[in-house]
Structure 1
Amino acid sequence: MSTLHWAGLLLLAAIAGAVVPFQSAINANLGRSLGHPLWATLASLVVSMLVLLPIVAALRLPLPSLDFIGKAPLWMWAGGVFGVCFISLALMLLPRLGASGFIALALAGQVVASLALDHFGLFGLVERQLTLPRLFGAMLLIVGVGLIQFSAAPARAVLSAS
């Protein structure tokens, strides 16, 4: 893989991470406006589907095999459950922890879980041994989370836009 291609992949991964706090903040506001975070979760998922369906149609992707749907292990469908969990918790926690605090804590959880997924090669992932440098990197991230969350200045009251 060329260096330029690799750099492009790294940039796309960073963009994927950068949109998360925007999604969470927007959905938190939507949840307040709709009266409950779960309504915002539902709205977010419906909008996702409405955006994705025309893309799938434009790409003329073949329909998935109904045979596979019946044979797939249950864990393969858990992604949707985890998506609802993340969106709903982001809606509830982001206003209380702040964007940087919530995202830092979420990232720390993602790194710790990812190290376990890699180490054991779970869900078909390539095994990547948990080495001391990888463990040290995770510990540095957790220290960074603590600095981000617990060194913030006291919260200021936010004036309502309405």
Structure 2
Amino acid sequence: MSTLHWLGLLLLAVIAGAVVPFQSAINANLGRGLGHPLWATLASLMVSILVLLPVLLALRLPLPDLGFITKAPLWMWTGGAFGVCFISLALVLMPKLGASGFIALALAGQILASLLLDHFGLFGLAERQLTAPRMLGALMLLGGVLLIQFSAAPAKALAAA
């Protein structure tokens, strides 16, 4: 893989992460407007379908193998449930924790879960041992998360200053 290709993949991963706080903040407002976070979760997922369908049609992708539905292990169908969990929790927690607080803590969970997924090679991922440098990197990231979450002055304290 060329360096340029690798850098492109890294940039796309950063963009994927950058859209999360926007999605969460927008959905939190939608949840307040609709009267409950779960309505906003449903609306978000419906918009996802409406955006994705034209892309699928434009790319003229073949229909999936319907025989796979009966063969696939049950865990393969849980991704949507995890999506609902994330969207719903973001709707509830972001207004309380702030964007940086929520995303920092969500990142902490992602780091810890990712280390476990890699270490045990779960869900078909290649095994990547939990080495001392990887643990140090995770601890440094988690330290940053703690600094982000607990060093922010509350808005009321700033207004009084």
TM-score normalised per structure 2: 0.95
How many Å separate the matches in 1 of 2:123 and 2:154?
A: 42
Shift of 1:155: 2.2
Q: Find the counterpart in structure 2 of residue 74 from structure 1.
A: 74
- Matched positions, count: 157
How many Å separate the matches in 1 of 2:156 and 2:25?
A: 17
How many Å separate the matches in 2 of 1:85 and 1:122?
A: 20
Structure 2's unaligned 5+ residue stretches are none
Q: Find the counterpart in structure 1 of residue 26 from structure 2.
A: 26
Q: Find the counterpart in structure 2 of residue 117 from structure 1.
A: 117
Supply the AA of the counterpart residue of 1:94: M
Q: Find the counterpart in structure 1 of residue 106 from structure 2.
A: 106
Q: Find the counterpart in structure 1 of residue 57 from structure 2.
A: 57
CA RMSD, aligned part only?
Answer: 1.0
How many Å separate the matches in 1 of 2:41 and 2:116?
A: 28
How many Å separate the matches in 2 of 1:143 and 1:18?
A: 20
Q: Find the counterpart in structure 2 of residue 90 from structure 1.
A: 90
Deviation string for 1:83-125 (max 9, x for gaps)? Answer: 0000000000000000000000001100110000000000000
**Overall identity of the aligned pairs, in %:** 82
Supply the AA of the counterpart residue of 2:22: F
Structure 1's unaligned 5+ residue stretches are 158-162
Supply the AA of the counterpart residue of 2:115: L
Q: Find the counterpart in structure 1 of residue 129 from structure 2.
A: 129
Supply the AA of the counterpart residue of 1:119: H
- Whether 2:141 is the aligned partner of 1:141: answer yes
How many Å separate the matches in 2 of 1:156 and 1:125?
A: 46
After superposing on structure 2, the runs of 4+ consecutive aligned residues of structure 1 that deviate more than 4 Å are none
- Whether 2:132 is the aligned partner of 1:155: answer no
TM-score normalised per structure 1: 0.95
Q: Find the counterpart in structure 2 of residue 36 from structure 1.
A: 36
